Amino acid sequence: MNKSAFMAVNNSLPGPDDIYRVQFENGIVLLVRSNYNSPSVVVSGYLTAGSLFEKDEQLGLAGFTASTLMRGTEKRTYHEIYDALESAGASLQISGGTHTAGFGSKALVEDLDLLLELLSESLMYPVFPEEQVELLRARLLTSLAIRAQDTREMSSLTFDQIVYAGHPYSRPEDGYPETIQSISRADLKKFHHVHYGPEGMVISVVGAVDPHVVGSKVADLFGDWQNPDQPAPVRLPPNPTPDDPRTRKIDIPGKFQADIVTGVVGPERRAADFLPAALGNNILGVFGMMGRIGETIREKAGLAYYAYSNLTGGMGPGPWYISAGVDPQNVDQTINLINQEITRFTQKPVSIEELSDSQSNFIGRLPLSLESNHGMASAILNLERYNLGLDYYRRYPDLISAVTREEVLAAAQRYWDVEKLGIGIAGP
């Protein structure tokens, strides 16, 4: 979709005139957008209760806590919670993350009260039943055992440990078997007591709802919530800057594939050069058949089962990496080809056609990503998370169209250096 076509549907995009935003006295921010074309409603959001608050000896505590919240509350048992959701055909999940704990739910609009009640009970009044805690611990340990045998997971984990050495981002959100084993029910209750609270909490609601009615419901359930012990968000330390390339191989016997993750520390979402970097990444290893990386490694050389690049800027500087799955005998050749493409990416501007195609791709796919209530709820949540402004999606085509080849090259040169890559490899 070109810019003029995009502007024709611009009025359907969220903006200051149709996103209802209110901040309650206790710090909770509520964002609501009505969509009367759908009989359903989506409620999503986050709290500042992520794994950044964990000690090294308790890695996985934040995620463990989040996963236990719906296992029983002061008002309902685990089975009563899920029976209520199932009878309404609704869903509700709470999960841990690095900076935040997130929640997402969906139901028919007539069941909005149920969703909000279950969400408030789970976040504010969990009881951490001993039996449910142990059942969940067993599930987490099983997941970690599977992770240890997954070449793709282990190459990614190893890459994070290399490029973020000494930084909180080097730590896996789901922890290790020994840390999960060490976490007690008292630890879960303490983490919840200290870190779950209204300050920094954001709720996004999209569906066939009246924003003012939703605001009243949220105020009734959450408006009196207070937590004087809730700490301020963690300030990230400076990023490590390796002086030379570092490669680490993890041996997983019995596998027929080796997975490679190679890359650098990239920009955070709020960085001025994030959009040039994102467009550059699209050209490098996403657009079409996985961009230049896919064409070189998969299509021409026939070396990889998959090969792509990814940019994951978030609240902090996320990784910018290239990932590939290959025959173990082809690891070195694949890395050499990746390095050639990185060198090309950092030495010469992308072509006019490549940038134009990527800009059209970015502008054209935005309306598609906002068609569902879930997509819209996530999108307006990100406006608040990254302080982009309620008019961001209305300005988006101009922002994308304004990016130049020189800006893409400058971003590539700022972050990529083949002499300072982190490379994680897992396989036989």
How far apart CA 341 and CA 327 sit, in angstroms, is 20
Q: How many CB atoms lie within 10 A of CB 176?
A: 16
If one counts every other C-beta atom within 10 angstroms of the C-beta of residue 425, the result is 25
Query: Is the Cβ–Cβ distance between 48 and 100 less than 8 Å?
Result: yes
Q: Could you list the pLDDT tens digit for every one of the 428 residues in the chain? A: 454 554 444 567 999 999 999 999 999 999 999 999 999 999 999 999 999 999 999 999 999 999 999 999 999 999 999 999 999 999 999 999 999 999 999 999 999 999 999 999 999 999 999 999 999 999 999 999 999 999 999 999 999 999 999 899 999 999 999 999 999 999 999 999 999 999 999 999 999 999 999 999 999 999 999 999 999 988 898 877 766 779 999 999 999 999 999 999 999 999 999 999 999 999 999 998 899 999 999 999 999 999 999 999 999 999 999 999 999 999 999 999 999 999 999 999 999 999 999 999 999 999 999 999 999 999 999 999 999 999 999 999 999 999 999 999 999 999 999 999 999 999 99
Q: Which DSSP symbol is given to 271?
A: S
Q: How far apart are CA 263 and CA 420, in angstroms?
A: 9
Tokens at 222, concatenated: 């959450």
Q: Measuring CA to CA, which residue among 94, 92, 89 is closest to residue 39? A: 89
**Segment 387-408, tens digit of pLDDT:** 999 999 999 999 999 999 999 9
Which residues, other chains included, contact 174 with Cβ-Cβ below 8 Å and sequence gap of 6+? 60, 63, 140, 143, 144, 147, 180
Q: How many residues in total does the chain contain?
A: 428
* Conformational region of residue 213, where left means phi above 0, alpha means psi within -120 to 50, and beta covers everything else: alpha
Rounded (5°) CA angle 258-259-264: 145
β-pairing, 40-47 with 319-326?
Answer: unpaired
Pairing of strands 422-427, 246-251: parallel
Beta bridge partners of 103: 45, 94
Spatial contact of 61 and 82, defined as CB atoms under 8 Å apart: no
Angle at 176 between CA 173 and CA 179, to 5 degrees: 100
Distance separating alpha carbons of residues 100 and 345, to the nearest angstrom: 34
Residue 100 to residue 270: CA distance in whole angstroms: 17
Whole-number CA gyration radius for the chain: 23
Q: What are phi and psi of 111, to 5 degrees?
A: -105, 15
Query: Quick one: tokens of 230?
Result: 């809730």
Contact 421, 305 (CB under 8 A): no
Q: Which residues contact 373 (CB under 8 A, 6 or more apart)?
A: 35, 38, 40, 41, 42, 106, 206, 207
Q: Which helix (H) or strand (E) holds 105?
A: strand 101-108
Sign of CA dihedral 99, 105, 109, 113: negative
Tokens of 347: 């030495």
Write down all domains in the chain, each with its CATH number in brackets: 18-222 (3.30.830.10), 246-427 (3.30.830.10)
Block residue for tokens 């236990």: 68
Residue pair 291/351 in contact by the 8 Å Cβ criterion = no
Q: For the segment 321-364, what is each residue's pLDDT rounded down to a tens digit?
A: 999 999 999 999 999 999 999 999 999 999 999 999 999 999 99
| pLDDT 10s digits, 118-138 | 999 999 999 999 999 999 999
Output the pTM of the full model.
0.93
Which letter, b or e, does each residue of 330-346 get, where b requires 16 or more Cβ atoms within 10 Å of its Cβ? bbeebbebbbebbeebb
